Structure 1
Amino acid sequence: MSANRSHRGLAYIEAVLATVMVAVLLAPSLQALSSGLMGQQVANDQSTQALSLQSKLDEVLAKPYSVLFAQTQASGGNTASSISLALSDPPGSSRRLVTIYRTNGSGAMAADTGLLRIRVAWEGAPSESGLVALRSKWL
């Protein structure tokens, strides 16, 4: 009969230990899950922003070369940092800026090389960020 009592006591201790372990491990598990969900939201936001930039770049590239070239001749234009106000979004909270300049593939050129470098980026973003495309007048 004493063998039954010790066996019952062991089962009770096991149940208590299992409950304590679940309680201790539940908090980190829930924290890891919430971190994963927040990471997913950040990834969704970045994906939406990237699609928005691609949409703006496609919109600019759809314009005739002559319209884009005219932007490089505007006052203060044709530099790697000059912004095309006509093609950029209107001022607001999240604004996509368009930069266009004549290039030979390595930098801004004064002459018409037949090649334009177009950059679309979010306002306030570093100069190396955003999407870049080249547009030729022969294609």
Structure 2
Amino acid sequence: MRSPPGFVYGLAYVEALLAAVLVAVLLAPALEALSTGLLNQTGGATLTNPDTALRNKLEEVQARPYSALLAETNAADGNTATSVSPTFSDPEGPDRRIVTIYRTNGSDVATADTGLLLIRVKWEDNRPAAALVSLKSKWL
């Protein structure tokens, strides 16, 4: 049976609709599998590379708000170049990373809030890997 001239079947619309449904249904599991793979990749690097573990800890502390870090410097024995932050340091163990936070004026320990904090992360057992140091500003 022939169709009249100019008459178009709707098969292309059904195909497009089916393709959109398939993409919507299959995209979520694909993205989940991809993110799981990326998480496992970074987790393995944290366990095997000491420099990466220090960097991850420093980034974790830097991600905290300035007010939370400043409160740590106001704790008892908290604003010296050697005072350990119990809140941000790792719990006791063989791979403990020590975090030191203190107020600074850019060159030395400051007694007042200058808007600048120095953050140092190092291994408790003084491994050969050097400590990582960063500054956190109140305004940035």
Q: Please name the residue that 2:132 is paired with.
A: 131
For 1:107 and 1:79, how far apart are their aligned partners in 2? 10
Q: Please name the residue that 1:91 is paired with.
A: 92
Residues 27-48 of structure 1: CA deviation (Å, up to 9, x unaligned): xxxxxxxxxxxxxxxxx9xx70
Q: Please name the residue that 1:121 is paired with.
A: 122
| 3-state SS, counterpart of residue 126 of structure 2 | coil
CA-CA distance at 1:116 after TM superposition:
0.1
Residues 40-94 of structure 1: CA deviation (Å, up to 9, x unaligned): xxxx9xx700000000000000000000000000000110000000000000011
Going by fraction, where is helix more abundant, 1 or 2?
1
Q: Please name the residue that 2:67 is paired with.
A: 66
For 1:94 and 1:52, how far apart are their aligned partners in 2? 10
For 1:92 and 1:78, how far apart are their aligned partners in 2? 24
Q: Please name the residue that 1:77 is paired with.
A: 78
Q: Which segments of structure 1 move beyond 3 Å, counting only runs of 4 or more?
A: none
For 1:98 and 1:74, how far apart are their aligned partners in 2? 14
Give the alignment's TM-score, normalised by structure 1.
0.64
Amino acid at match of 2:64: K
For 1:109 and 1:124, how far apart are their aligned partners in 2? 28
Identity %: 57
**Please, what is the CA RMSD of the aligned residues?**
2.0
CA-CA distance at 1:125 after TM superposition:
1.7
CA-CA distance at 1:124 after TM superposition:
2.7
| 3-state SS, counterpart of residue 57 of structure 1 | helix
Aligned pairs for 1:23-38 (under 5 A) are: none
For 1:49 and 1:105, how far apart are their aligned partners in 2? 28
For 2:104 and 2:50, how far apart are their aligned partners in 1? 27
Amino acid at match of 1:85: P
Amino acid at match of 2:53: S
Amino acid at match of 2:73: T
**Gaps in structure 2 of 5+ consecutive residues:** 1-44
| 3-state SS, counterpart of residue 49 of structure 2 | helix
Aligned length: 94
